[in-house]
């Protein structure tokens, strides 16, 4: 029996290279070793999304990118969170064993309160409970995460443990599987790459658009003139070369330090390598985009398969809680 992996990603539409390096490549690699369930978390998105007019489109675009990057619906279950409503039922039941104090101390809750003070909704507080429901509904034993998500997973483990202690062993405590590329910084070189703060490079851009985006990247501020020597270790363009141009990084570092390469040429080289790495993905994406019904079918089939597992867990949960 393969162990089961679960991962949910917020519906953000077209994926960027931070998603690709930090999550999607890992999702693809895990498919052969584990029984994988990957979910576009649309209910979570509602905690900050007030206008849902493009929600279906963002789910579609995201799944399209996942498939083009190599996720195989024959191997993995791919679906949208809300299509399996049992998750909302489990969220309510788990909320009864989760102390409010645990939720109010979660750093991301505090950050969200600062980010959207005019929309501090109940869903924001319960976010980790819904995330726990996502994982334990499918009895996942392994959750691929970046280092920044470890506290969330620890909370999910605590909630599962508390439920098990009170109602008898029901859920495995999910274990973290750290990704190889935990934190990808964006074009500003400061924050995690994110569409929300416009510091991202979408995977599906054309070659020209990719180069345009890369050209906006912040580099070492010490290189004000072409003849100034640089410090590659503090430059995010250099970090990205590490992922897309691994055999060139030593050369680039030497040339940057001795001012033999300028930032414009260094960025052009990075864009070239990103484009060549993503070329097969972009070709597959174009083929899949021509078959929109295929994406709809993948999501419907995934939801159906996920629901079979979910219904069995809910029955067991209710039985253990003496609700039935
Ligand atoms: S040459 Fe490259 S590594 Fe050096 S500062 Fe410029 S962009 Fe960064």
Mean pLDDT along residues 211-230: 95
List the strands of the sheet with 77-80, edge to edge.
77-80, 35-41, 4-10, 142-145, 175-178
Measure 181 CA to ligand 1 centroid, in angstroms.
21
Q: Is the pLDDT of residue 21 over 80?
A: yes
pLDDT-derived band at 159 (thresholds 50, 70, 90) equals very high
Q: Which residues are catalytic?
A: 112, 192, 195
Check residue 196 and give its pLDDT.
85
Per residue in 222-239, pLDDT (tens digit) is 999 999 999 999 999 999
Amino acid 310: pLDDT: 98
Q: What pTM did the predictor assign?
A: 0.92
Whose Cα sits closest to atom 6 in ligand 1?
A: 263
Pocket perturbation via mutation, ligand 1, pick of 220, 241, 250 by most ligand atoms within 8 A of CB: 220
Q: How many Å apart are CA 287 and CA 15, to the nearest integer?
A: 17
Expressed in angstroms and rounded, the spacing between residue 229 Cα and the centre of ligand 1 is 9
Ligand 1 atom closest to the Cα of residue 223 is 5
Nearest atom in ligand 1 to the alpha carbon of residue 253 is: 3
Quick one: which H or E segment has residue 154?
helix 150-167
Question: Which of ligand 1's atoms lies nearest the C-alpha of 257?
Answer: 4
- Residue 181 pLDDT more than 70? no
Pocket of ligand 1 (CB under 6 A): 219-220, 223, 230, 232, 235, 237-238, 252, 256, 261, 263, 266-267
Q: What angle do CA 262, 180, 19 make, to 5 degrees?
A: 70
Q: Is the pLDDT of residue 190 over 90?
A: yes
Per-residue pLDDT at 178: 84
pLDDT of residue 153: 94
Rounded to whole angstroms, the maximal C-alpha distance in the chain is 75
pLDDT band at residue 180, thresholds of 50, 70 and 90? low
């Amino acid at each position: 029996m393969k162990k089961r992996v679960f991962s949910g990603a917020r519906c953000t539409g077209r994926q960027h290279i931070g998603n690709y390096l930090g999550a999607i490549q890992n999702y693809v690699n895990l498919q052969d070793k584990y029984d994988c369930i990957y979910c576009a978390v649309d209910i979570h998105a509602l905690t900050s999304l007030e206008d849902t007019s493009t929600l279906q489109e963002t789910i579609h675009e995201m799944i399209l990118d996942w498939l083009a990057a190599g996720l195989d619906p024959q191997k993995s279950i791919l679906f949208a969170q809300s299509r399996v409503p049992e998750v909302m039922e489990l969220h309510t039941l788990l909320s009864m064993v989760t102390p409010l104090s645990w939720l109010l101390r979660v750093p991301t809750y505090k950050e969200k309160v600062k980010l959207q003070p005019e929309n501090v909704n109940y869903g924001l507080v319960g976010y980790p409970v819904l995330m726990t429901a996502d994982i334990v509904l499918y009895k996942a034993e392994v959750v691929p995460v970046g280092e920044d998500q470890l506290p969330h997973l620890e909370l999910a483990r605590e909630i599962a443990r508390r439920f098990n202690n009170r109602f008898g062993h029901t859920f495995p405590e999910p274990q973290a599987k750290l990704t190889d590329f935990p934190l990808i910084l964006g074009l500003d070189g400061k924050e995690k790459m994110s569409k929300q703060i416009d510091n991202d490079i979408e995977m599906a851009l054309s070659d020209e658009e990719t180069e345009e985006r890369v050209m906006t990247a912040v580099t070492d501020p010490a290189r004000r003139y072409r003849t100034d020597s640089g410090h590659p270790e503090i430059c995010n363009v250099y970090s990205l070369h590490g992922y897309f141009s691994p055999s060139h990084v030593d050369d680039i570092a030497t040339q940057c330090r001795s001012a033999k390469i300028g930032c414009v040429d260094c960025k052009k080289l990075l864009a070239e390598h990103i484009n060549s790495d993503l070329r097969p993905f972009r070709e597959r994406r174009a083929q899949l985009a021509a078959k929109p019904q295929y994406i709809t079918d993948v999501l419907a089939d995934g939801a159906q398969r996920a629901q079979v597992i979910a219904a069995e867990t809910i029955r067991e949960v209710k039985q253990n809680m003496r609700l039935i």
